[in-house]
Amino acid sequence: MKPALFEYSAPQTVAEAIALLAADPGAMVLAGGQSLVPAMNLRLASPSRLVDIQHIPGLSGISVAGGEIIVRALTTHRELELSGEAHRANPVIREAMAHVAHIPIRNRGTVVGSLCHADAAAEMPMVLVLTGGSVVAEGPQGTRTIGAEDFFQFHMTTSRESHELVVEARFPVLPAGAGAAFDEFTRRHGDYAIAAVGAIVRLGRDGAADKVAVATCGVGSRPMRLPAVEARLIGTRLAAEDLAAAGEIAKDAVTAPDDINATTSYRQRVVATLVRRVVEKAAHRAGQGR
């Protein structure tokens, strides 16, 4: 199929881009285009105007400052994946990034674009939720920072206003002494996840977990933390019975209906297995760093 007719604008500044978005509620932002253009071709998205931000200076780059990995809006997946600075600050980003589509797509697609697309089965939105990250949006009324839990509202739906431009994403640095891990299950490598799980674990001096963060995607209408799973694991030594119990609790997070890829019950079994596997791996890595 072909996309519906649209106007095209290529602003040279952030202010110009915001003005274009404010003037046309049906406008959409084009960065890498790896999610938006296929959606337009399938008529799943029909913007009245494309606001192409690729020509705006200052919207690319990665930096680590103030305990955060700051990823600007035009930074591609591949740039973040290969960034040694980002990897040292939080290795789970690279581990998850290896599962994002394929290298040609990661060479063009942007991290912030994926976050704004907000596919409920996409890896990077889940990593932002797992790490407690945020996005920075600029609009006519100024700049605001939106936490990941508030940003992702539903499948392909965020709290970004139509007149706002997300200029960067911020992923917190991995806490000292913590370990992190990510894994997912797909029909084929590069597909969206049938279920994916990420975990961050820190062990206390007694060997018990004093910090646990667990998040998942592909199993509901948005990426989400699993507070009941975290509560079950904090204070334990993450023995086999603790991990098994956490996996059973994680099944309650699965709300995705049966589809051509998996049934709900199958996703429940997958997410339970991934929780056990990923938490154990994160804990092992935390123990290695002690």
Residue 288 pLDDT class (50, 70, 90 cuts): confident
Mean pLDDT over the full length of the chain: 96
Report the CATH number at residue 207.
3.30.390.50
> Residue 210: how many CB atoms within 10 A of its CB?
15
First-to-final CA distance of the chain: 55
> Residue 101: how many CB atoms within 10 A of its CB?
20
- Is pLDDT at 4 greater than 70 in this prediction? yes
Please give the model's pTM, rounded to 2 decimal places. 0.96
Torsion 81-86-91-92 (CA) sign: negative
Q: Among the three residues 121, 145, 172, which one is the final residue of a domain in this structure?
A: 172
Q: What is the mean pLDDT of residues 99-122?
A: 97
Q: What is the pLDDT of residue 1?
A: 73
- Is pLDDT at 289 greater than 80 in this prediction? no
Q: What is the pLDDT of residue 190?
A: 87
Q: What is the DSSP string of the chain?
A: --PPP-EEE--SSHHHHHHHHHH-TTEEEESS-TTHHHHHHTTS---SEEEE-TT-TT---EEEETTEEEEETT-BHHHHHH-HHHHHH-THHHHHHTTSS-HHHHHH-BHHHHHHHT-TT-HHHHHHHHHT-EEEEEETTEEEEEEHHHHEEETTEES--TT-EEEEEEEEPPPTTEEEEEEEE-SSTTSPPSEEEEEEEEE-TTSSEEEEEEEEESSSSS-EE-HHHHHHHTTS---HHHHHHHHHHHGGG--PPP-SS--HHHHHHHHHHHHHHHHHHHHHHHHHT-
* pLDDT per position as a tens digit, 181-204: 999 999 998 888 999 999 999 999
Q: Among the three residues 141, 172, 203, which one is the final residue of a domain in this structure?
A: 172
Q: What is the mean pLDDT of residues 198-224?
A: 97
156 and 208 belong to one structural domain: no
Report the CATH number at residue 121.
3.30.465.10
Domain that holds residue 160: 64-172
Burial class (CB in 10 A: 0-12, 13-18, 19+), 258: exposed
- Partner residues linked to 211 by β-bridges: 202
- Partner residues linked to 209 by β-bridges: 203
* pLDDT per position as a tens digit, 119-159: 999 999 999 999 999 999 999 999 999 999 999 999 999 99
136 and 111 belong to one structural domain: yes
* pLDDT per position as a tens digit, 169-183: 999 999 999 999 999
Unique residue bearing structure tokens 């009245």: 48
State what percent of residues in the chain have pLDDT above 90. 96
Distance CA 268, CA 59 (A): 40
76 and 160 belong to one structural domain: yes
281 and 211 belong to one structural domain: yes
- Is pLDDT at 290 greater than 60 in this prediction? no
23 and 99 belong to one structural domain: no
